Amino acid sequence: MIQLDHVGVDIEDRVALLSIRRPDFLNALSPALLTELSIAVAELELSDEVAAVILTGEGKAFVAGADIKVMMEMNPLEARSFAESGAALGRSIEESGKPYIAAVNGFALGGGCELALACDFIYASTKAKFGQPEVKLGVIPGFGGTQRLSRRVGVAKTKELCLTGDIIDAQEAMRIGLIDAMVEPDELLDHARETANKIARNGPLAVAEAKRVIHEGQSMTLEQGNLIEQLAFANLFASADQKEGMTAFVGKREPVFEGK
């Protein structure tokens, strides 16, 4: 991996821990940090050593938002470029063949909430806080928040959060379906790693295809979604992983998948 200033990557047992390391600024997303995260995500996508990724932030925050001191000097063209960079990062996570688990340890506000929403699962500590408070700054979410949040919690609740700018705790986030699990702070990474390890033991081609079909099917009719599922199912029978998985099952042993 390329050495980055504010992003760290640690790989163990085919699980990558992707850490945002800008704690003095509560991991606020600057253009430079977005670039570093994009580089890390792109490298992880190409790594045969990684089957799943845990995304977290160091210190008191997951990501407390975008860097307001940088944003306040932007003109409309610069703001659009910034939004496009954030959206592209979210899309690369969402469309990655590797499942991403957001381990939210503290504040996930604005761009931080949007970054978590791009992940496949969101696990949060009991001390986590979520919100899209951009209207308090005279703007709106720009990294996909209005769209992904509404797909997670519904249109009415998204309007409530985005129009009031309210910040909610982990308990409320769990109640409305914004997060998938809530655990004590000292159990957060272990909980995320437990799920990631389960995923890493499965066929990587099958995992990637299941994620892709589920994601793409959300914008299709049921008939169209069923069709792409059938095609993906059939195509996997051309893989060595399918042969290995079924042979291992019949032989009552653990499969050894190679992603081929």
Q: Token pair 């991403």 is at which residue?
A: 100
Residue 169 has pLDDT above 80, yes or no: yes
Q: Give 33-45 pLDDT, tens digit per residue.
A: 999 999 999 999 9
What sign does the dihedral 163-169-175-177 (CA atoms) show? positive
Residue 135 has pLDDT above 80, yes or no: yes
223 is annotated as an active-site residue: no
Q: Tell me which residue of 156, 171, 242 sits closest to 202, measured CA to CA.
A: 242
Burial (CB count within 10 angstroms: exposed 0-12, middle 13-18, buried 19+), residue 166: middle
Residue 181 has pLDDT above 70, yes or no: yes
Asked if 117 and 149 touch (Cβ cutoff 8 Å), the reply is: yes
The model carries a pTM of 0.94
Mean pLDDT, residues 108-118 taken together: 97
Catalytic residue selected from 114, 172, 229, 258: 114
Predicted confidence band of residue 3 (pLDDT cuts 50, 70, 90): confident
Asked if 144 and 117 touch (Cβ cutoff 8 Å), the reply is: yes
Residue 214 has pLDDT above 80, yes or no: yes
Domains and CATH numbers, the chain: 7-200 (3.90.226.10), 204-250 (1.10.12)
**pLDDT averaged over every residue in the chain:** 95
Asked if 109 and 167 touch (Cβ cutoff 8 Å), the reply is: yes
Rounded to whole angstroms, the Cα distance separating 243 from 173 reads: 42
Percent of the chain with pLDDT over 90: 95
Q: What are phi and psi of 44, to 5 degrees?
A: -65, -35
pLDDT value of position 1: 67
Residue 189 identity (one-letter amino acid): L
Q: Token pair 């997060």 is at which residue?
A: 179
Catalytic residue selected from 12, 36, 134, 187: 134
Residue 2 has pLDDT above 80, yes or no: no
Q: Tell me which residue of 176, 187, 124 sits closest to 116, measured CA to CA.
A: 124
Q: Give 53-63 pLDDT, tens digit per residue.
A: 999 999 999 99
229 is annotated as an active-site residue: no
Mean pLDDT, residues 72-101 taken together: 96
Predicted confidence band of residue 256 (pLDDT cuts 50, 70, 90): very high
Q: SS3 of 37, please?
A: helix
Mean pLDDT, residues 101-112 taken together: 97
Cα-based distances in Å from 148 to 116, 122, 145, 243 = 10, 13, 5, 37
Q: Give 186-211 pLDDT, tens digit per residue.
A: 999 999 999 999 999 999 999 999 99
Residue 7 identity (one-letter amino acid): V
